[in-house]
Structure 1
Amino acid sequence: MSRIPTLPTIGLVLFAVGADAQNAADAFYDAQAMATARSKLQEGHGNQVNSLIIAERLEYSTNDTGDAVVWEGQGWLGTDRNKFWVKTEGEYVDGEEIDEAELQLLYSRAVSAFWDVQAGIRHDFEPTPRRSHLVIGTQGLAPYWFEVDAALFLSDEGKVTARIETEYELSLTQRLILQPRLEINLAASADEEAGIGKGLFDTVAELRLRYEFRREFAPYIGVSWGGDFGDTADMVQRQDGKARGFSIVAGFRLWY
């Protein structure tokens, strides 16, 4: 009586045939040619070197305490797995002086399809005291399409702070986008020289409506609210007495 092959046996045979078929060209081409071909194949499936430069916010802001030009942008160069990042943000107040300015230089490594781990340095050019920081953080896409950028900073004075930013894009039409954004800043200990208290010291909540004439160019309008908390609010009150609040913003979002 002939024996009928079982499903596991058939599976093993097909697996073996498939494995041989994947490398069938090795029998006809030399090792150097095959190595070059495989390298090109990998390059076409995620190993290309690409780049992106994006100005998330380039805007004019006005409220009861004064006017300001605000910028926030980032760019990267690398592959799907490894990238070098540059991030910058700041504020130019009343057409007179730069009130805040920082620059980050980071290396990132993809740890999943939606998340990168980042590490590098940050330098604060303004306000004084000018500080340098070590940075470790993560950036990616959370469930329900929330974009998240979170980082820990260790300053050259040994102070530890954290920043968490999240935003969401709601497409009202193909070109009209509503974008809420939330930023939270925390400190592990007080830093009176920098005017920062322990715990939650700063929060920004914003809402922008942009119109994408092209994906690369989108003017927007919106509102922004910023507040200081705890000991930080007391320090700000003692220094200049200017409490933050609501601002009207208008600007452009650009990328290349």
Structure 2
Amino acid sequence: MLRVSSPCRLLLVCAALFATPSRAQDVDGGATLSGGFDLIEMRADKGGDIFLWDATFSYGDATDQLMLVTTGGGPLSAQIDQSEIRVFYGRTVGNLTWLAGVRHDITPAPRDTHAIVGAQGSVGTRLSWETYIFLSDRGRLSGEGQVIYAMPIAEKLYIEPRVAAGWAARSWIEQGVRAGIGEVEGSVRLRYRLRPKINAYIGVAHERLVGGTRRLAEEQGDTGQATTAVIGFGFSL
């Protein structure tokens, strides 16, 4: 099981990646290594502080890419209680990238492995979106999607609202999930570019269970929602 005594270990990994001499260089006649950590953040609420990360790294050219995505988090200075890794092949046509790959849940148990198909796209320079469908090795079908809008308000300052949702094709009572859309999240981050490839931000996030998943949580004494203050930073290679 993945454990961490402090977020410092992850930050050291970030620093090592950022210092890699080969980052974003042309390799093998046009292929490049790019990406970075979109989110490295702490969320604070009455229940305690939570540390989260979301990173994507890509190797390839403008048409074909191999992508590695890692996300996760947990209570600050404690065991990471949710983490996963995804590996994709991506094929870009215009502003749309088609994705196929695999996702492995490192924590929590059970450590399912999923086949993935998905797509990422953009509308203009400000609006981006992504959507995925997962089929687990136990036959469970689910999915998620996200829309992000980046709106400049000054030379180095921009506001970034996001909306995300997750769904399941059928109920998983043992995991507290009912069929249909089960969770949504809305967040707003105010980002400031410290350097061209480094930014810091503050914001607020609201997570809410919906539908049958929310009713199931309420039966178990959970409110099914949380609003948290957010502070963090991101960087690209």
- Check whether TM > 0.5: yes
Aligned to 1:180: 161
Please give the residue correspondences for 1:136-147 in structure 2 after superposition, counting only pairs within 5 Å. 136-142=117-123, 145-147=126-128
> Post-superposition, which runs of at least 4 consecutive aligned residues in structure 1 deviate over 6 A?
none
CA displacement at 1:118 relative to structure 2: 0.3
Matched, 1:48 2:30: yes
Please give the per-residue CA displacement for 1:123-143, whole angstroms capped at 9, x wherever unaligned.
111222221100000012135
Q: Report the Cα distance in structure 2 between the residues aligned to 1:166 and 1:153, rounded to whole angstroms.
A: 18
1:251 aligns with 2:227: no
* Cα distance in 2 for residues equivalent to 1:66 and 1:248: 11
**Secondary structure of 1:157's aligned partner:** coil
One-letter identity of the residue aligned with 1:118: L
Equivalent of residue 64 in structure 1, options 33, 42, 46: 46
Q: Report SS of the residue matched to 1:97.
A: coil
Q: Could you tell me which residue of structure 2 aligns to residue 107 of structure 1? A: 89
In the alignment, is the contact (CA less than 8 A) between 2:113 and 2:137 conserved in 1? yes
Give the corresponding residue for 1:123.
104
The one-letter amino acid of 1:86's match is L
SS at match of 1:151: strand
TM-score under structure 1 length normalisation: 0.77
Distance 1:181 1:107, change over 3 A: same
1:239 CA drift (Å): 4.8
1:157 equivalent in structure 2 = 138
The runs of 5 or more residues in structure 1 that have no matched partner are 1-43
Which residue number in structure 1 is paired with residue 172 of structure 2? 191
Question: CA 1:66–1:235 in structure 2 vs 1: closer, same or farther (change >3 Å)?
Answer: farther
State the partner residue of 1:34. none
> TM-score, with normalisation over the residues of structure 2?
0.83
CA deviations on 1:12-35 (whole Å, 9 max, x unpaired) are xxxxxxxxxxxxxxxxxxxxxxxx
Q: Is the 8 A contact 1:221 1:249 kept in 2?
A: yes
Question: 2: CA distance between counterparts of 1:192 and 1:243?
Answer: 15
Unaligned runs of 5+ in 2: 1-25
Shift of 1:213: 1.4
CA distance in 2, matches of 1:121, 1:152: 11
Given candidates 213, 232, 236, the residue that maps to 1:232 is: 213
Instruction: Please say if residues 39 and 234 of structure 2, whose CA atoms lie closer than 8 Å, have aligned partners that are also in contact.
Output: yes
Partner amino acid, structure 2, of 1:213: L
Residue 91 (1) aligns with residue 65 (2)? no
Q: 1:102·1:122 contact (CA, 8 Å) conserved in 2?
A: yes
| Structure 1 Cα separation of the partners of residues 126 and 229 of structure 2 | 26
Partner of 2:195: 214
1:196 corresponds to which letter in structure 2?
A: V
The alpha-carbon deviation at position 171 of structure 1 amounts to 0.6
Q: Aligned partners of 1:144 and 1:77: how far apart in 2?
A: 22
Larger % of helix: which? 1
Contact 2:133 2:144 in 1 (8 A): yes
Name the % identity.
25
Q: Secondary structure at the match of 2:212?
A: helix
1:244 Cα deviation after fit? 2.7
Separation in structure 1 between the aligned mates of residue 102 and residue 229 of structure 2, nearest angstrom: 32
Q: Is the 8 A contact 2:126 2:151 kept in 1?
A: no
| Matched residues, number | 210
Paired AA for residue 75 in structure 1: F
- The CA deviation at 1:201 is 0.3
Q: Which has the higher contact order (CA 8 A, sep 6+)?
A: 2
2:6 corresponds in structure 1 to none
Report the equivalent of 2:4.
Answer: none
CA distance in 1, matches of 2:150, 2:70: 21
Residues in 2 aligned to 1:137 and 1:162: alpha-carbon distance in whole angstroms = 9
The aligned amino acid for 1:76 is S
- Greater gyration radius: 1
